[in-house]
Structure 1
Amino acid sequence: MPTALIRRPGARLAEGLVTHIERQPVDVELAIRQWQLYVDALHSTGWTTVEVPPIEECPDSVFIEDTMVVYGDLAVIARAGADERRPEAAAAAETVQAQGYRITRIADPGTLDGGDVLKIGSTIYIGEGGRTNAEGIRQLREAFAPLGADVRSVPVRKVLHLKSAVTALPDGTVIGYEPLVDAPEAFERFRAVPEESGAHVVLLGEDRLLMAASAPKSAALFAELGYAPVVVDISEFEKLEGCVTCLSVRLRG
């Protein structure tokens, strides 16, 4: 059964970091309800979830994807590009190890956020320039090389993380909102989508795509291509540069 790690939002969520957009008020109670509906969507499509213990002192901790990168049986525990987010990794590491994964860690002076990593089969694209640096990429490449991964660095300047700009469809086509993609030519196949949040999908299996309610035109495009959008409202997380990918770590499936 496919499994995802999740972490519920804390009371200080509204204090989360914002780098590329204007800060807006965040309704924490609404965010908690939206998070539960996100989790429910995973469950309704056959996924099981494992909850990482909350860490109230870290407002961004709900964005659990940034704590690690999983490939094969190995979880590389990230070293966050933002100092204040580094305490988030400890409990996440313990939780993924309890799921049977080997772990290794990005070490100083490397920095790496999981949201900068896009996996397409054995090809792993990593965004360099924001929260992830060249040394972090070198360490990740070294960790995954024995598993046969092809790690490729791509520039990220216009958005917080690589997966703020692009994700990929089940056939491997990279999708992105072109004004926010630094180097669309870096990908073997690229397709533009009509909305910023339409660039963010989570592959749930059986051609189902978990995506945000704020991208109806993109959902219609994916339906025309034969995919089945599973739509969730994550408006409060979008105010903090969050998207559907960063609210979970997909371990299997």
Structure 2
Amino acid sequence: MTLPLALVRPVSPRLAEAELSFLDRVAIDPERAAAQHAGYVDLLRRLGHDVIEVAAAPEHPDGTFVEDAAVVVDDLAVCTRPGAASRRGEVDSVRAALEGLGLRTVRMSEPATLDGGDVLQVGPTVFVGLGGRTNAAGVAALEEALAPLGRTVVPVTVTGCLHLKSGATALPDGTVVAVTSWLDTAPFEAAGLQVVEAPEPAGADLLLSGDRVVVSAAAPRTAAMVRTLGFEAHPVEIDELEKAECGVTCLSVLVSPPAG
């Protein structure tokens, strides 16, 4: 099985200044965060992903959360307009990296706002969190961009967490693991997907590596559940990064470059 490339970006020394919506600000050790990020990257490599590093952006506290800058579907990268104005300068370098890999790119424009962390792809359905960082115009812009690729875009109301994928992600078989009090699960159920409760909040954000699952080390009961359901679970320590509302999906953009 050929795994996608993983785009990552180093941790900014200004990580402690990252935008926060649902967590109280606490002290963050940027060196420990950088060491945990390196462990995350090492795990991706051990799982078989080639890793591409996007240009460092020390001036952007949230820059390591590279997922928010682009949504990749097939050979198209939709470069976002993040909901936090302070993050919009992160996008151009991610776009350059994606174009360097041969992807087509389009860029969202005002009044659309959308963070990649609000986008969950399950088969041909693309669920989009509608909440603090992503607005209705962002959902509509993504729908327009992805319609030619045969994707159906479905909004999901998010009230209790930063992004959709902070509160819900899917296992390789399409089972949605969620903190159900944080969002409306009806769109998943209407699409025929089973929804199970995440045993810990950190367990709702899961990264798929083929048919394996990367899970925060802060969610051991979720890892056990994933194994019970028949999938490999690979814990990774990111607790210093989690202080900045990070999950395991936030730290990479998975890309399958066009053939040729």
TM-score range, shorter chain: over 0.9
Q: Provide the rounded CA distance (Å) in 2 between the counterparts of 1:193 and 1:138.
A: 29
Give the corresponding residue for 1:40: 42
**1:186 & 1:252 partners in 2: Cα distance?**
27
Which of 170, 175, 200 is 1:195 aligned to?
Answer: 200
Aligned to 2:59: 57
Stretches of 4+ moved more than 6 A in 1? Answer: none
Give the corresponding residue for 2:30: 28
Alpha-carbon deviation of 1:178?
Answer: 2.3
TM-score by length of 1: 0.97
Q: CA RMSD in A?
A: 1.1
Match 1:163 to one of 162, 165, 175: 165
Q: How far apart in 2 are the matches of 1:103 and 1:174?
A: 29
Contact 2:7 2:54 in 1 (8 A): yes
- Structure 2 partner of 1:132: 134
Structure 1 residue 252: Cα displacement: 2.7
Other-structure match for 1:240? 244
Secondary structure of the residue aligned to 2:134 is coil
Q: Percent of aligned pairs with the same residue?
A: 45
- 207, 211, 215: which is aligned to 2:219? 215
Partner of 2:8: 6
Q: Which residue of 2 aligns with 1:95?
A: 97
Return the TM-score normalized by structure 2. 0.94
Q: 1:227 aligns with which of 220, 225, 231?
A: 231
Quick one: which amino acid aligns to residue 45 of structure 2? H
Determine helix, strand or coil for the equivalent of 1:226: coil
Structure 1, residues 39-89: CA drift from partner, whole Å, max 9, x if none?
000000100011100111110000000000000110000001000000000
- Partners of 1:178 and 1:27 lie apart in 2 by 31
Aligned equivalents of 1:112, 1:178: Cα separation in 2: 22
Which amino acid is the alignment partner of residue 62 of structure 1? T
1:41 counterpart SS class: helix
User: C-alpha distance in 1, partners of 2:115/2:37?
Assistant: 21
Partner-residue secondary structure (3-state), 2:52: strand
Gaps of 5+ in 1: none
In the alignment, the residues of structure 1 paired with residue 133 and residue 111 of structure 2 have an alpha-carbon distance, to the nearest angstrom, of 12
Aligned residues: 251
CA–CA separation in structure 2 for the residues paired with 1:80 and 1:178: 25
Q: Answer whether contact 2:128 2:164 (CA < 8 A) is retained.
A: yes
Alignment of 1:57-96 (within 5 A): 57-96=59-98
